[in-house]
Structure 1
C-alpha cells in the first residue's frame, strides 16, 4: 500500500498531534462503533503491520510507563511460577485491585520494565500486554474509549487511527 505524502510525517510530534485531535478522534471512533466495524476489520491487519514497520516499541514503552494490564488468574499463576514466588507473595508484592475489581500493578512504570525498555517477564507477560495495542483486532473499534485513550499513549494506535481516518473518510 503506498504511503501518501501527508502520511509520510504522520509520526512526527505524534504525542502533541494526538492531544490536539482528541475530540475528532473520539468522534471518529464513535462512528466506527456505530458502523460495527464495517470495512475496518479488513484494513486493521495491514495497517497494524504498516505501523509496526515504522515503530519500535523499545524506543517508546509508553504503555508500560503509564498504564497497567489486568493480571488475570492464569497470568498470576504463570508469572509467579516464572519468578519463583508463591502467588500470594506475587500479588502482595506487585499488585493491587482497581475500581473494576481487576488486579493491576501497584505503581507506574511497570515494575517489570527495565531501564532499557525491555520487559523482565516478556515470555510470560499478561494477556493484555501480549494483545496490546489491539490495532489488529476488533477491540480497536469495539472499545472506542480505550482506543481513544491509547491514541495518546501509543504511537501505533495514533498511526492506525490516522490512517483509518484517511482511508475510511467517515
Structure 2
C-alpha cells in the first residue's frame, strides 16, 4: 500500500472533502448511518490494515484508565510500571505513548497486544461511527494518515452526489 500516494491525494482533496463533509452537517440524508456503515464495510473489504499500519507508526492513541488496566494486566505489569515505561501525560492532560511508533507494533506490522489494544485503536479511523458528520475535523485529519479513511470519504462523496 502506497501510504505517501494516499497522503498526497488526501492533501490535494482536503478542501473539497472539508466542503463535502460540511454539507452533510447541514443536511445529511435520513439514512446516512446505513450508508456510512455500508461504505465502511466496502472499504475495509479492500484495505488490509496489516499491510499499512501507518496509524501505529505515526499516531499515538489516547489511553483511558480502563485501557491501562487491561493492557498492564495482559502484560503482567503493575499499573505504575506500565505507565512509567510506556506513557506520558500530554499538554491536555491525556495519557499517550512516550514516542512513536507504537512499542507494541511488531516487525510484521501486527499488534502484539491486539486483543487488549486501546479503545482509540479499536475505533480508528472512526468511519463506522453513527452521525459521522459530528466528527468532520477528525475524519479530514484521518484521511491524511489512513488510506481507508481517504477512500471512505471518496466513496461517500461519490455515493451521495
TM-score, normalised with respect to structure 2: 0.91
Between the aligned partners of 1:37 and 1:69, the Cα distance in structure 2 is 31
| Normalised TM-score (structure 1) | 0.86
Residue 96 of structure 2 aligns to a residue whose secondary structure is strand
Shift of 1:40: 2.0
Q: Structure 1 regions of 5+ residues with no counterpart? A: 1-10
Q: Which residue of 1 aligns with 2:15?
A: 23
The Cα offsets for residues 45-91 of structure 1, whole Å up to 9 and x where unpaired, read as 11111101111001100111111111101110010011111101111
Contact 1:37 1:138 in 2 (8 A): no
| More helix, by proportion | 2
Q: What residue is the counterpart of 1:4 in the other structure?
A: none
4+ long deviations beyond 4 Å: none
- Give the secondary-structure state (helix, strand or coil) at the position aligned to 1:104: strand
Distance of aligned partners of 1:142 and 1:36 in 2 relative to their CA distance in 1, 3 Å threshold: farther
CA distance in 2, matches of 1:98, 1:41: 33
Instruction: Say how many residue pairs are matched.
Output: 159
Alignment of 1:8-157 (within 5 A): 13-35=5-27, 38-138=30-130, 140-157=132-149
Deviation, 1:99, is 2.6
